[in-house]
Structure 1
Amino acid sequence: MGEREKSETVKSTADWVRDQLLTESTGHDWYHIQRVTETAKSIAAEEGADMFVVEMAALLHDLADDKLVASEEEGIQEINKWLVDRSVGKADSAHIIEIIETISFSKGKPLRTLEAKVVQDADRLDAIGAIGIARTFQYAGAKGHALYDPKANVRTEMTKAEYRSGQGSAIHHFYEKLLLLKDRMNTHTGKKLAESRHAFMEQFLKRFYAEWDGNG
């Protein structure tokens, strides 16, 4: 596949994903995909990753996520069909699918390639900082989770089912996932970008607790 064909495939894929996720309401909408894709491209440029594989995986990564689809397996099948129909090479298709199947926080699977590490870093960066804070409360509201429950314990060592089905509060999610991400970045570029976003979340939580206690 030449560069022109790759460019056209990326554009048609973006249009397809946009149509499916534009009105998604839990923080995994088209604008999340757009941000992750742009961040992934920036990291890929710094790290020397395959730009086509990175961009395609970033665009498609949530179409097989169990937060959004009834069946991960069916989601993967649909993505694979999309790639085949657009004559994406077998090696690139397999690589893109592998990235989508391994980057989820809840799965905790090891990443084999630089491209997977780039896309995972970009996805995780969108979960922290100012955008991450906004998305946390959007997701909690959509799922009917509490803003904060001072009596609840932070959940650790969760199974995927427990992580997905638990009724933890939005604030607890910071400790169960978001504050862990800075130290789990894969690339040098991702680690640098995570520093300021992590610091912003710490500042937010300090202010949140002060106001919660009536001292802000």
Structure 2
Amino acid sequence: MDKQTIGAIEAFVQAKLQEDKSGHGMDHIERVVRNAQKIAQTEVCDEFVVAAAAYLHDVADEKLVEDQGRAYQEIVDVLQKNNVSAKKIEHILYIIKNLSFSQELEGTTKELSIEGQIVQDADRLDAMGAIGIIRTIYYGGHKGNKIYDPTIKPRLLQNKSEYREESTIINHFYEKILLLNDRLNTPYAKTIGKQRQEFLENFLTEFLEEWE
């Protein structure tokens, strides 16, 4: 793996996300990269593509940027500048365009390569467990959502537009976060996911008992 190129990609992402206040900043990115690299060691894969896609996966996220097209072009520019091959650039872009939970709701996701599955697992693991709980609350506060309202029931989301509608923070756990464990791809991630799922379920049980 070209460490110099990965370093340049990391610096690019740092510049883009350093002001993030939504739970998608560099701390999140670094955890996703570490998780992805750990998973990659258990699979036969292109470790450069895994690391690059893990670093870049949120740079063009529609929740975080106003102009997705421009954001994708900036990704291409930095990869080309660092002599990444056209084939690998295409692979990296394919991964970051087909990771999201909201696309699954729309039925528009395409089959991911093993590299894509690894990055998706790493990203989803960071939405689970103790850190996932804090990130969910942090993002909900960033959006101005209520913590909880027992009169507002969790929804069975059918499409992206419903997913983007605001709900309570606790409902978000039921509408998305609790569903991620069954959507993990790799054996390594599933092992970690099981532990984090149990922690999350215990947290929600305790929260509801205290609320009542």
Give distance in 2, aligned partners of 1:169 and 1:125: 21
Q: Which residue of 1 aligns with 2:187?
A: 188
Give distance in 1, aligned partners of 2:185 and 2:31: 18
Give distance in 2, aligned partners of 1:201 and 1:112: 27
Residue 157 of structure 1, CA deviation: 3.0
Q: Which residue of 2 aligns with 1:209?
A: 208
SS in 2 for 1:47: coil
Give distance in 2, aligned partners of 1:192 and 1:158: 28
Are 1:26 and 2:22 an aligned pair? Answer: yes
Are 1:103 and 2:102 an aligned pair? Answer: no
Match of 1:86 among 78, 82, 87: 82
**What per-residue deviation string (whole Å, max 9, x for no partner) do you get for residues 98-125 of structure 1?**
0010001111213331000000000000
Letter of the aligned partner of 1:39 in structure 2?
N
Q: Which residue of 2 aligns with 1:149?
A: 149
Give distance in 2, aligned partners of 1:206 and 1:73: 42
Q: Where does the alignment leave 5 or more consecutive residues of structure 2 unmatched?
A: none
Give distance in 2, aligned partners of 1:64 and 1:111: 20
Give distance in 1, aligned partners of 2:176 and 2:22: 17
> Aligned-residue CA RMSD in angstroms?
1.0
Following superposition of structure 1 onto structure 2, how do residues 54-203 of structure 1 map, counting pairs within 5 Å? Answer: 54-108=50-104, 109-164=109-164, 166-203=165-202
Contact 1:103 1:111 in 2 (8 A): no
Identical aligned residues as a percent: 43
SS in 2 for 1:35: helix
Give distance in 1, aligned partners of 2:159 and 2:79: 31
Q: Where does the alignment leave 5 or more consecutive residues of structure 1 unmatched?
A: none
Residue 158 of structure 1, CA deviation: 3.1
Letter of the aligned partner of 1:197 in structure 2?
R
SS in 2 for 1:18: helix
Contact 2:157 2:175 in 1 (8 A): no
Contact 1:27 1:138 in 2 (8 A): yes
Deviates more, 1:107-116 or 1:126-135: 107-116
Aligned length: 208
Contact 2:9 2:79 in 1 (8 A): no
Residue 193 of structure 1, CA deviation: 1.0
Contact 1:26 1:142 in 2 (8 A): yes
Residue 22 of structure 1, CA deviation: 2.1
Give distance in 1, aligned partners of 2:90 and 2:201: 39
Contact 2:35 2:122 in 1 (8 A): yes
Contact 2:60 2:68 in 1 (8 A): yes
Contact 1:22 1:31 in 2 (8 A): no
Contact 1:21 1:28 in 2 (8 A): yes
